[in-house]
Amino acid sequence: MVTSATLYNVLHWLNFTVDIRNVCVFLAPLFSSLTTIVTYHLTKELSNPGAGLVAAAMISIVPGYISRSVAGSYDNEGIAIFCMLFTYYTWIKAVKTGSLSWSVICALAYFYMVSSWGGYVFLINLIPLHVLALMISGRFSHRVYVAYTTLYCTGTILSMQIPFVGFQPVLTSEHMGALGVFGLVQLHALVDYVKTKMSTEDFNVVFQSVISTAVVLLLGVAAVLTFSGKIAPWTGRFYSLLDPSYAKNNIPIIASVSEHQPTAWSSFYFDLQLLVFLFPAGLYFCFANLSDANIFIILYGMTSVYFAGVMVRLMLVLAPVMCILSGIGASTLLSKYMKGLEASSPPSAGASEKKAKKSDPQSFLRHEISLAFVAMMTFMFVTYALHCTWVTSEAYSSPSIVLSARGHDGSRIIFDDFREAYNWLKHNTPEDAKVMSWWDYGYQITAMANRTIIVDNNTWNNTHISRVGQAMASPEDKAYEIMRELDVDYVLVIFGGLTGYSSDDINKFLWMVRIGGSTETGKHIKEADFYTPQGEFRVDKEGSPTLLNCLMYKMCYYRFGSLYTEGGKPPGWDRVRGAEIGNKDFELDVLEEAYTTEHWIVRIFKVK
Amino acid sequence: MARGILVLFLFICGVSAQNLVVKNAGRKVELNLVYSHLLVPYPSKIVQNQPQLVKYSGNAYPFLPYEVVSAKTVVTLSSNNIESYTKVKPVSVTDTSITYGPYENLPAFSEEEITVHYENNAPFLTVASLKRWIEISHWGGNIAVEEDVDVLHTGARLKGAFSRHEYQRGQSGPSSVASYRTFLPAAASSIYYRDDIGNISTSRTKILEDTVEVELTPRFPLFGGWKTKYKIGYNVPSYEYLYSRGDNFILQMRFIDHIFDEMVVDSAEVSVLLPEGAEDVEIVFPEYPGIEKKADSIFKTYLDTTGRKVITATKKNIVENHIQDFQVKYRLPSWRLIFEPLLIVVACYLMFLVIVIYVRLDFSISKDEAVEARMKAAGVLENVLSTQEKRDAIYTSLDAAIHTLKSSKDVNGFQSALKNINADHKNLAQSLGDQVSRLRSLGVPDLADKILDLQKLDKTLKDIVGQQVSLAERLVGNKIAKGNYVTEDATLGKKREELLERIHSIIGSL
């Protein structure tokens, strides 16, 4: 936000009257181009410029990253990935040179990262992990000491300036790793220093006593603080990171977000394609040529693979490292085989001509193999490029707010219902009207309709969302009480029964039930009540009466019962669920239909 | 009679009207009066499928400062569904009109209020506010027009629920408005129709002979009391509206343009954005009352330095009959046209200049001797490498010379070629020696040693090549048998190859 405002102001100061909207739309592509440059430099530091080029070329089209950086995806992640890679780059630089200036730049980059995305926690755990790995592998040096101490002190103080972060870096357990490593670094440096001044035997005695007391002391303090509540316990999101099934069992609100679902294997291939295969090769080359920097990228690669496997959303963190490691892998392999190709390529002087004639058959075969390998790599790169453009155009380019479908004659039909409804809300409801909808649409309503909403995508209060879920899942009279309590004027639901838009509120309804029932006030709402005795979720006559009479059902299917949706089917045929609805011809007692869009996708009801 | 009220008085003045008519002579005067907001919806709130009823209140007689000999008032309605009307005899009703009169010998200012209550489902759209923005570009030869329109349905308000189901069946909402047509100038191009949240995809453009017709469908149908807001914009070529003589220009355009048929605009604001640097601005507005000129303002956009002058005027209560031209005269020196490209050129030039200066400046606090020495050494090494390459080329040319000697047996030619080659080789060896001493002075003795090795190897190589040369000469002079020559040359060649390999390994390690 600050970034786009700065850009906007600078441009306006230069009399470039760019609309703030355009600044926002093109911010993500701008930053993704910067990401490409940073990727090049980062990979160059890790390996060589060739690998850097390959990695930069790969990240420029990798779908996993494009999904967040297409024009118009004005999201924190767009900037955050750039910040993250930039922080890594400066970190590697700092570790390599041990210079204060690089460490401070790194801290500044980290500050920018903290201000842009909550995912900075990954970074502040990865860097200490790197330091720890360096210490364990005996690669600890003054350079690392300088880099980490500077980064931790400056970075932490800077990050505490962000209101959202506040005192978390010293209070929550997510940040404790960094603090612990900071202490260890000091100890290690001290030990190294003492070692140079003492004889070995004396040193061993001192070492053991100091270390054991320090460890006991640290553990004791940590335990006391944790139990006294000074250090906040781990939040649910992080438990779900460590244990993929945690969220499903305990916090339905986290599990309900599709981005927080565990990743399917196919989506790895879908988002990364060739990189999936080149990644292990790159990893191998990093191991083969172990250095301080390579250890870092190995750690980054391993942890992010794990996290991406836990949460679809973190594919974003994985994509850059996939590109970097694949870049290293591809470049090393190619340069190896290109050499084989070059050595036996057309001779430049008479001397080598003789040599070629004399060369043994093995070398001859080597040429052929090299040729085959290079051809294969070229083919794979070409398919990678094709795949990436295909994925981008198919999956990540279409706006989610304007839906399109193909008509029977192949022409394009546009469903612009969302904007229709939001625009209606904006112009034809009182300015202080409060709109209740499921939280997915919160941001859209705020931005496009400029109306107060009850819950939105950033609602932290779990019980609040739960209350909305309870309202949706209750019969009309109960729901009315809740709506009065929440001071709701309008209720908005998304309904795909007429068009076949499948991510509508009825399909999300079970999550509302689960979330609604997950808190104290919603104890009476049980998921089982909404299933048929056979355990099915049905909207037709067989469906459970609880479902057929709850507010959500009634709002979605109000007057739908007499509508013909498809030829040859009875009226009230739901095209998403493929069923004739079970409860027709009812009237709403506490609500009245305020507006329904052209294709019935958005329905707005007014609370009487 | 639909949206606005058009009252048509047709009368013959028989009495003294000072300036209008000569005594006792007749003259026909036609008077057009357009009223807005005169029809009041009654009832003011209706449910979705109810027709809209409105009330018209007016005078049964012509309201004139003269005595009227004979008068007749005809009220033409949009439908034959008349709920009620005031009866001022004589009055007669035909299908869709009510005729009052004829009345004889009415005194001046005679009044008799009548009300007519009838069904009227005409679209009661009102433009609550209109902002028209005209931007002149001399560079593009283009005039961009953008209109910001707030539309409000001022008919009977919708009461109760809106049922999409009933609306889609098409039997309800007779007074609602789904779409309307706007006529733009015939030259209009790149037309857009959007609002705050982006393009509104439901519009259709039809190009007619003298106009461009755009059918606008708002995002939602407009019922009574509902409002919407949108922007419509288009470009017209400037040669149609901008006239010039030398540096003087006159813009002549419509003050406001058509929005929909029988439109009513409650308040309009028209702004003209003149090009940067326009001077001596003069405005001629159409002659209708209530037009108000606002203070000029400055607008800055791409590549502007001093900003462009914006002249603004407002007018309340506008109807279709107000569509008239206005003029803006100004002077724009022609050098202004190249001002902006020059600006870019200068800006780019300055940027490059700054970069050039930056690259050449050294901002480090302390001089890093080692780095500098390394950089110098790298420069020297580059020299060494190029020298070595030249040397390789010399050996190749020597081989070629031997080859020609063997085929042409031209000993003299060969001798002179050999002489040149030897001289070149000597020069190169000399320059390499210089590089060695420079490297030593730079404090990189290990590199210098490597180059010394290189020199030694080259010396042996030169000897071998020398032997090859003498062998070839002997062959040409028939002092050696061909078979012998081949074997000896081959052994020498082998040695040479080994040497070359060693040289190249040294080069590679540099």
Q: Which residue has the higher pLDDT, A12 or B51?
A: B51
* pLDDT for residue A519 is more than 90: no
Tally Cβ neighbours within 10 Å of residue B106.
Answer: 20
Q: What is the pLDDT of residues A551-589, one digit of tens each?
A: 999 999 988 888 888 878 888 888 888 888 888 888 888
Kindly state whether residues A61 and A163 are assigned to the same domain. Answer: yes
Q: Please name the residue that has the structure tokens 């008799």.
A: B112
B219/A420 CB distance under 8 A: yes
Q: What is the pLDDT of residues A198-208, one digit of tens each?
A: 777 887 888 78
Kindly state whether residues B111 and B217 are assigned to the same domain. Answer: no
Q: Please name the residue that has the structure tokens 């009309």.
A: A476
Tally Cβ neighbours within 10 Å of residue B415.
Answer: 12
- A369: DSSP letter: H
Which of A331, A362, A384 is the endpoint of a domain?
A331
Of A16, A423, A592, the CB nearest to B220: A423
Interface of A with B in 316-375 (CB under 8 A): 349-351, 354
Which of B119, B144, B162 is the endpoint of a domain?
B119
**How far from chain centre, in Å, is Cα A69?**
12
Q: What is the distance in angstroms between the CA of the first residue and the CA of the last residue of chain B?
A: 98
Of A16, A351, A592, the CB nearest to B500: A351
CA distance A10 to A16: 9
Å from A499 to nearest chain B CA?
14
Model pLDDT, residue A344? 52
pLDDT tens-place values along chain B, 510 residues long? 344 444 444 343 333 344 444 556 677 778 888 888 888 898 889 988 888 899 988 888 888 888 888 888 888 888 888 888 888 878 888 888 888 878 888 888 888 889 999 988 888 899 999 999 999 988 888 999 999 999 999 988 888 888 888 888 876 778 888 889 999 999 999 999 988 888 888 888 888 888 999 999 999 999 988 999 999 999 999 999 999 888 899 999 999 999 988 889 999 999 999 988 888 898 888 877 788 888 888 888 887 888 889 999 999 989 888 888 999 999 998 888 888 889 899 999 999 999 999 988 877 766 667 777 777 777 888 888 888 888 888 888 888 888 888 777 777 888 888 888 888 888 888 887 887 777 777 777 777 787 788 888 888 888 888 888 888 888 887 777 778 888 888 888 888 888 888 887 887 777
Model pLDDT, residue B21? 47
Kindly state whether residues B146 and B276 are assigned to the same domain. Answer: yes
Å from B120 to nearest chain A CA?
23
Q: State the number of CA atoms in the 13 A half-sphere of B378 facing the CB.
A: 6
Kindly state whether residues A424 and A282 are assigned to the same domain. Answer: no
Kindly state whether residues B409 and B375 are assigned to the same domain. Answer: yes
Kindly state whether residues B301 and B243 are assigned to the same domain. Answer: yes
Average pLDDT, integer, range A99-116 = 90
Sign of CA dihedral A70, A71, A77, A80: positive
Candidate ranges A312-321, A503-512, B124-133; pick with highest mean pLDDT = B124-133
Kindly state whether residues B135 and B90 are assigned to the same domain. Answer: no
Structural domain of B308? 125-338
CA distance B268 to A81: 48
Kindly state whether residues A478 and A577 are assigned to the same domain. Answer: yes
- Does some domain include residue B73? yes
- Which of A11, A13, A15 is the best residue to mutate to test the B interface, defined by the most B CB atoms within 10 Å of its own CB? A15
CATH number for the domain that contains residue B283: 2.60.40.1730
- Does some domain include residue A464? yes
Nearest CA in chain A to B228: A427
Q: Please name the residue that has the structure tokens 């200049």.
A: B353
Strands A403-406 and A412-415, by their bridges, are antiparallel
- Does some domain include residue B39? no
Kindly state whether residues B399 and B327 are assigned to the same domain. Answer: no
Structural domain of A562? 417-607
Does the beta carbon of A387 lie under 8 angstroms from any beta carbon of chain B? no
Kindly state whether residues B215 and B273 are assigned to the same domain. Answer: yes
Kindly state whether residues B325 and B449 are assigned to the same domain. Answer: no
B301 chain-A contacts, CB cut-off 8 A: 15-17
Model pLDDT, residue B110? 86
- Does some domain include residue B41? no
Kindly state whether residues B105 and B162 are assigned to the same domain. Answer: no
Of A419, A428, A559, the CB nearest to B163: A559
Model pLDDT, residue A541? 85
Taking a C-beta distance cutoff of 8 angstroms, is the pair B379, B445 a contact?
no
* pLDDT for residue A345 is more than 60: no
CA distance B230 to A423: 11
Taking a C-beta distance cutoff of 8 angstroms, is the pair A482, A464 a contact?
no
ipTM over 0.85: no
For residue B180, list its beta bridge partners: B216
Kindly state whether residues A298 and A433 are assigned to the same domain. Answer: no
Question: If we measure between CA atoms, which residue out of A349, A342, A356 comes closest to residue B503?
Answer: A349
- Does some domain include residue A4? yes
Å from A292 to nearest chain B CA?
24
CA distance B88 to B106: 14
Kindly state whether residues A320 and A434 are assigned to the same domain. Answer: no
Which of A331, A353, A383 is the endpoint of a domain?
A331
Interface of B with A in 154-193 (CB under 8 A): 160-165
Kindly state whether residues A306 and A422 are assigned to the same domain. Answer: no
- A257: DSSP letter: S
Taking a C-beta distance cutoff of 8 angstroms, is the pair A271, A58 a contact?
no
Does the beta carbon of A82 lie under 8 angstroms from any beta carbon of chain B? no
Average pLDDT, integer, range A430-456 = 88
* Number of domains chain A is built from: 2
Does the beta carbon of B204 lie under 8 angstroms from any beta carbon of chain A? no
Nearest CA in chain A to B195: A423
CA angle A76/A80/A86 to nearest 5° reads 160
A15/B302 CB distance under 8 A: yes
Å from B376 to nearest chain A CA?
22
A560 chain-B contacts, CB cut-off 8 A: 165
Number of helices (H) and strands (E), helices first, in chain A? 27, 9
Which of B119, B135, B162 is the endpoint of a domain?
B119
Model pLDDT, residue A608? 83
Which of A331, A349, A367 is the endpoint of a domain?
A331
Q: What is the pLDDT of residues A226-266, one digit of tens each?
A: 777 665 555 655 666 666 666 556 666 666 676 677 778 88
Model pLDDT, residue A331? 92
State the average pLDDT for chain A: 83
Does the beta carbon of B497 lie under 8 angstroms from any beta carbon of chain A? yes
- Does some domain include residue B348? no
Q: Please spell the DSSP secondary structure of A515-550, one letter per residue.
A: HHHTSGGGTT--GGGGS-TTS----STTS-HHHHTB
Kindly state whether residues A303 and A432 are assigned to the same domain. Answer: no
Model pLDDT, residue A26? 86
* Number of domains chain B is built from: 3
A358 chain-B contacts, CB cut-off 8 A: none
B220/A424 CB distance under 8 A: yes
Of A15, A428, A592, the CB nearest to B300: A15
B382 burial level (CB within 10 Å; 0-12, 13-18, 19+): exposed
Model pLDDT, residue B278? 87
List of E strands, A398-528: 403-406, 412-415, 434-436, 452-453, 490-494
Q: Please name the residue that has the structure tokens 């496997």.
A: A309
Q: Which residue has the higher pLDDT, A168 or B134?
A: B134
A596/B226 CB distance under 8 A: no
Q: State the number of CA atoms in the 13 A half-sphere of A574 facing the CB.
A: 25
Does the beta carbon of A424 lie under 8 angstroms from any beta carbon of chain B? yes
Residue A602's pLDDT band (cuts 50, 70, 90): very high
3-state helix, strand, coil split of chain B in percent (to 5) is 35, 35, 30
Model pLDDT, residue A587? 87
- Does some domain include residue B75? yes
Q: Please spell the DSSP secondary structure of A89-152, one letter per residue.
A: HHHHHHHHH--HHHHHHHHHHHHHHHHH-TTHHHHHHHHHHHHHHHHHTT---HHHHHHHHHHH
- Does some domain include residue B364? no
- Does some domain include residue A391? no
CA distance A543 to A530: 8
Model pLDDT, residue B24? 61
CATH number for the domain that contains residue B458: 1.20.1420
- B294: DSSP letter: P
B160/A592 CB distance under 8 A: yes
Kindly state whether residues B401 and B322 are assigned to the same domain. Answer: no
Model pLDDT, residue A152? 92
A598 chain-B contacts, CB cut-off 8 A: 164
- Does some domain include residue B46? no
Kindly state whether residues B130 and B87 are assigned to the same domain. Answer: no
Kindly state whether residues B129 and B11 are assigned to the same domain. Answer: no
Å from B200 to nearest chain A CA?
9
Nearest CA in chain B to A598: B164
CATH number for the domain that contains residue A578: 3.40.50.12610
Model pLDDT, residue A604? 93
For residue A415, list its beta bridge partners: A403
- Which of B150, B196, B222 is the best residue to mutate to test the A interface, defined by the most A CB atoms within 10 Å of its own CB? B196
Q: What contacts 24+ positions apart, CB below 8 Å, involve A535-538?
A: A537/A510, A538/A577, A538/A579, A538/A582
Average pLDDT, integer, range A13-17 = 73
CA distance A160 to B4: 65
Tally Cβ neighbours within 10 Å of residue A161.
Answer: 11
Average pLDDT, integer, range A374-398 = 88
Q: What are A447's two structure tokens? A: 């931005």
Kindly state whether residues A208 and A81 are assigned to the same domain. Answer: yes
- Does some domain include residue B350? no
B227/A423 CB distance under 8 A: no
